[in-house]
Amino acid sequence: MVSTFVVVLNETIMNVALASLIGDLGITAATAQWLTTGYLLTMAVVIPTSGFLIQRFTTRQVFIAAMSLFALGTLIAALSPGFGTLLMGRIVQAAGAAVMMPLLMTAVLNTVPASRRGTLMGTISIVTAAAPALGPTISGAILSILSWPFLFWTVLPIALATLVIGIAKLKNVTPTRDAPLDVLSVALAAVAFGGIVFGLAGIGEAANGEAPLPPWIPLLVGVAVLTLFILRQRRLERGDRAVLDLRTFATPAFVVAIIMMALVAMTLFGTLTVLPLYLQNAVGSSALTTGLLLLPGGVIMAVLSPFVGRLYDKVGPGPLVIPGAIVLALSQWAFAATLTAVSSPWVAMVIFTVMHIALAFLFTPLMTSALSPLDVNLYSHGSATLSTVQQLAGAAGTATLVGLLTIGSGGSDSPEAIAAGVHDAYLGASVISVLTVISAFVLNAFARRRR
């Protein structure tokens, strides 16, 4: 869990640092975005293969390989003299990070009885949602006194320490089998998920006239190849040889929970990109102040998540996800209604904190509701599918909200224009959150049938 926390934290630690990188490396904003886009692309390509990796290799082998890659990438990034090497480091980091969340959830499902999974998933929620929220805070604090390479020098010793402890203490808890690797499926997954993420990431750039090609082209290619990937997996499932077994979607609760998780991830990751832009460029907050304003949300979610997990074991998902989804929707409407160029940053902090209270009541029940009903032989594939969908949804949410912000601001960087763009972005987030409320009631209906 500590290792996974570090790699997930790393995903958003660059959000506040992009302005510093643009100046230090002499690159444009469109180029700097590839440090995030390249990371997301690599994650999208590697995560679908994690189901195969976790079945084929032992827990120790997968953990050691993943954390070694992550640590190596962190070292490359810390030592990088220019943009190209830094991007290479981020890609190597992502190759290791992509496997960690599916590995963690598969290990929990194989070792924890169903009656206690909510409690453990509550603790895992600290990793899945609190870590991304804390990334900008830690980044802002480091950048207020040190240069951007120290973002990676701070992460590296923690990554190495967890790797050494894992080598010494970690036991094999997941069953293995001689699963064959279908190379064609891996290639299809790389093009499909990579194309979708690339296209989504390009929406914001296209709105600003900076995209290298129209985003609909990689999106169309990605969706077309995704169709071929799905057909290929359905065929390979007959011989139990699928890289990503899609029989998980035969479980209705899994389908509803994963759709709702996608909507929640869109809202969360979109906000983690848009809100720092608002605080720094519209209100004039420093990187450190921006990070500190976002800190209470991550902290309160980390505190609440284990309690929500224990509640899930007692009452199930319905009494948790319905109020959580409603409060999440209200927080997005509050962002849209109150954030202006003259608003106090404290208003944004309060709404962001309320949003994370809602997220605490959503992540744990959704992960547990999605994965617990699956057959044991589908745990690794369910975990990989959940992580893939969350990654794609995060990219979609970021692209959607940044695109709306760019269009709403008219390409201007004045505080008033940015505030207008933020208003439009959160109107879009409000629509997404209404869909989350509807999904919560559907999930509750399925949960009541199971009970």
Q: Are 74 and 14 a contacting pair, CB within 8 Å?
A: no
Provide the pLDDT confidence category of residue 413 given band limits of 50, 70 and 90: confident
Which long-range contacts link 287-291 to residues 24+ away (Cβ below 8 Å)? Answer: 287/16, 287/17, 287/19, 287/20, 287/139, 287/140, 287/143, 287/144, 288/140, 288/141, 288/143, 288/144, 289/140, 289/345, 290/16, 290/136, 290/140, 291/16, 291/136, 291/137, 291/138, 291/139, 291/140, 291/141
387: closest CA among 159, 50, 62, 13? 50
For residue 204, pLDDT over 90 is answered with: no
Quote the CA–CA distance of 1 and 14 in Å, as a whole number. 21
Domains with residue ranges and CATH for the chain = 2-450 (1.20.1250.20)
Average pLDDT over residues 225-240: 87
Mean pLDDT of the chain: 84
Close Cβ partners of 365 (under 8 Å, ≥ 6 residues apart): 118, 308, 312, 316, 317, 320, 321, 324
Instruction: Name every residue whose Cβ is closer than 8 Å to that of residue 336 and which is 6 or more positions away in sequence.
Output: 423, 426, 427, 429, 430
Q: Is the pLDDT confidence value at 246 over 90?
A: no
pLDDT of residue 347: 93
Half-sphere exposure of 123 (CA within 13 A, CB side): 11
Lowest model confidence (mean pLDDT) among 14-23, 151-160, 267-276, 308-317 = 14-23
Q: Note the pLDDT tens digit of each residue in 290-343.
A: 878 888 887 888 888 888 888 888 888 888 999 999 999 999 999 999 998 888
pLDDT at 257 over 80: yes
Closest by CA to 191, choosing from 223, 232, 234, is 223
- Identify whether the C-beta of residue 237 lies closer than 8 Å to the C-beta of residue 339: no
pLDDT reported for residue 129: 62
What is the arithmetic mean of pLDDT over 357-373? 87
pLDDT value of residue 153: 93
The pair of three-digit structure tokens given for residue 331, joined into one six-digit string: 């927080």
Mean pLDDT of 180-189: 83
Residue 285 has pLDDT above 60, yes or no: yes
Q: What is the reported pLDDT for 88?
A: 93
pLDDT tens-digit readout, 28-84: 655 776 787 678 778 877 888 887 788 788 888 899 999 999 999 999 999 998 888
Q: Which residues contact 325 (CB under 8 A, 6 or more apart)?
A: 260, 358, 362, 433, 436, 437, 439, 440
- Single-letter residue type at 28: T
Q: 99-103, 273-277, 410-414: which has the minimum mean pLDDT?
A: 410-414
User: Which of 1-15, 115-129, 389-403 is predicted with the least confidence, judged by mean pLDDT?
Assistant: 115-129
Percent of the chain with pLDDT over 70: 93
